[in-house]
Amino acid sequence: MATPLSADKMIAALKAEGVAPVEREGWRTHNRNEAGPWGGVNGVLIHHTAGRDSLDLVWDGRSDLPGPLAHTHLAKNGTATMTGNGRANHAGRAARNAFDAVVAESSTHPAPSAASGTVDGNQHFYGIEIENLGDGDDPYPGAQYDKAVRWAAAICRAHGWTQHSVVGHKETSVEGKIDPSFSMNNFRAKVADRLSHDAGWDPVAPAADEGAEDGTGVLDG
């Protein structure tokens, strides 16, 4: 387990990786720490919003689930807005077998099994909500997908983790979650590629949708 990054260290890591985070007023103290512990941290959890214009929802939460619902919201154009610092209501119950694979940074990510027991995912995972309908048809534009990769790589780099500390909600949840609606193996490969270079590595930027993920997890371009 690792000590969670401070707000300043998170911002520095993201900027170094080329994310250019937007700091929404109040994000540094916006959390659910009163509901339970935050950290040690073990990994990075990827979500899709399953809706449009969801920044306020990620910040405020719902009547049955107070915000923040992630640490960062990622818009279609690649704008990463900081929405929480500390415990966030995003991971829920993580299957013990899936969690243990993340802790071990295993190259194999087993299907989550409730029979293995559960772990408080909100305590141990950073989370990002990527704006997408999650219906298998809504694409992830190149700029958005690139920033998601950079976001995950930045946190892994800061903690000295490999790409196998990055998992999708669908790979940990015992509640049948389906997000994100793209291939996590493809995504982890992109994170690994970034981690094999310095944080400032900036390959030739793709066109708007070139090299992006479509909604089915197949790389376009």
Ordered strands of the 43-48 beta sheet = 22-23, 80-82, 72-74, 125-130, 43-48, 166-168
Contact present, 184 and 52 (Cβ < 8 Å): no
74-96: average pLDDT: 98
pLDDT above 90 for 204? no
**Domain ranges, ordered by start, for the chain:** 7-195
- The C-alpha atoms of residue 71 and residue 180 are separated, in whole angstroms, by 16
Non-local CB neighbours of 203 within 8 Å, separated by 6+ positions: none
The single-letter code of the amino acid at 156 is C
Mean pLDDT of 108-130: 98
Which tokens belong to 15? 């900027």
What per-residue confidence (pLDDT) applies to 217?
A: 62
% of the chain exceeding 70 in pLDDT: 93
How many CB atoms neighbour CB 128 within 10 A?
Answer: 24
Residue 111, pLDDT > 50, answer yes
pLDDT exceeds cutoff 60 at 208? no
Return mean pLDDT, the chain: 94
Q: What's the pLDDT score for residue 1? A: 85
Instruction: Determine the pLDDT at residue 205.
Output: 57
How big is the chain by its Cα radius of gyration, in Å?
A: 16
Whole-Å CA distances, 206 to 132, 139, 200, 201: 20, 15, 17, 14
For the segment(s) 7-195, the CATH number from 3.40.1280.10, 1.10.10.10, 3.40.50.740, 3.40.80.10 is: 3.40.80.10
Q: What percent of the chain has pLDDT over 90?
A: 91
For residue 68, whether the previous peptide bond is cis, meaning omega lies within 30 degrees of 0, is: yes
SS3 186: helix
- Distance (Å, rounded) from C-alpha 47 to C-alpha 33? 21
Contact present, 167 and 94 (Cβ < 8 Å): no
Q: Which of the four pLDDT bands, split at 50, 70 and 90, describes residue 2?
A: very high
pLDDT band of residue 155 (cuts 50, 70, 90) is very high
> What's the rounded mean pLDDT across residues 133-156?
97
Tell me the three state secondary structure of residue 81. Answer: strand
Rounded CA-CA distance 83/58 in Å is 7
pLDDT at 221 over 60: no
Q: What is the pLDDT of residues 41-53, one digit of tens each?
A: 999 999 999 999 9
d(CA 37, CA 201): 35
HSE toward the beta carbon, residue 177, CA cutoff 13 A: 25
